[in-house]
């Protein structure tokens, strides 16, 4: 069961630092804890440090997307937090992505610290085909995710965030060239909440996910560790 738990990234969807610390202390042996934009805006780097000081791996999910110089500066500042994973939007383009990877590798080499896994964000799981069409991008969501996967590979990134609904197709498309991280995971009987494209943990693993991002089904359970163990059993 511990092998499966390392595939789980627990999303801490609260801005309350004490609650976040409590959640991270109750859950053991997961791949990482995901801290996103809301948590960062509320608590800043100090809040990230408080969680990482517990010994937990941090998936810093800030989804950087701007001109290359701005993203490079933001990444350089973020690396001081020693994240295990970082996210950048693939739609930022090849130059932004390559610049991001270059600054991360250079900084970590100079500081003699582990290089975090840089993940490219493809199409958000809250977006479905009707939303996608309204953005003025031709083709299906799946087609765009494939294009973005190729961009991730060409830019040298180590992984990609993609919906579980496109997971099987993307795994076939990229082979083992990218780690695939999948949000929108709900255990059997779980609620969809604001995710439109979801699958169960066992199906996601079968389809080729390296990591599963799961939040409320674990963090809002009466016993988060027991909820995690049940998900691992389901897998």
Say what the pLDDT of residue 198 is.
64
- pLDDT tens, residue by residue, 123-164: 887 777 777 778 777 778 888 899 999 999 999 999 999 988
Q: What is the CA radius of gyration of the chain?
A: 17
Tell me the mean pLDDT in the region 98-125: 93
- pLDDT tens, residue by residue, 54-68: 999 999 999 999 999
Active centre residues (catalytic): 63
Tell me the domain boundaries of the chain. Answer: 2-234
DSSP codes, 146-215: HHHHHHHHHHT-SEEE--HHHHHHHHHHHTTSSEEEE--B--TT---TT-SS-B-HHHHHHTT-SEEEE-
Q: Is the pTM of this model over 0.85?
A: yes
Say what the pLDDT of residue 190 is.
54
Locate all alpha helices (DSSP H) within 53-124, ordered by sequence. 68-78, 94-111
Query: What does CATH list as the number for 2-234?
Result: 3.20.20.70
């Amino acid at each position: 069961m511990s092998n499966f738990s390392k595939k789980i990234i627990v999303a801490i969807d609260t801005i309350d630092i004490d609650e976040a610390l409590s959640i991270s202390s109750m859950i053991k042996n997961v791949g990482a804890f995901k801290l996103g934009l809301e948590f960062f805006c509320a608590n800043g780097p100090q809040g990230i440090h408080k969680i990482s000081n517990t010994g937990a791996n941090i998936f810093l999910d800030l989804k950087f997307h701007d001109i290359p110089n701005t993203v490079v500066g933001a990444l350089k500042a973020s690396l001081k937090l020693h994240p295990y994973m970082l996210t950048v939007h693939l739609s930022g383009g090849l130059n932004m992505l390559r610049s991001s990877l270059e600054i991360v590798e250079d900084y970590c080499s100079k500081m003699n610290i582990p290089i975090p896994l840089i993940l490219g964000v493809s199409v958000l799981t809250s977006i479905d085909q009707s939303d996608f069409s309204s953005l003025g991008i031709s083709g299906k969501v799946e087609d765009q995710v494939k294009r973005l996967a190729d961009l991730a590979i060409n830019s040298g990134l180590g992984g990609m965030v993609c919906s579980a609904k496109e997971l099987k197709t993307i795994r076939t498309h990229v082979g083992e060239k990218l780690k695939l991280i999948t949000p929108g995971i709900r255990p059997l009987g779980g609620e969809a909440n604001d995710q439109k494209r979801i699958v169960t943990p066992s199906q996601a693993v079968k389809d080729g996910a390296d990591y599963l991002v799961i939040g409320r089904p674990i963090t809002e359970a009466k016993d988060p560790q027991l909820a995690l163990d049940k998900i691992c059993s389901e897998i």
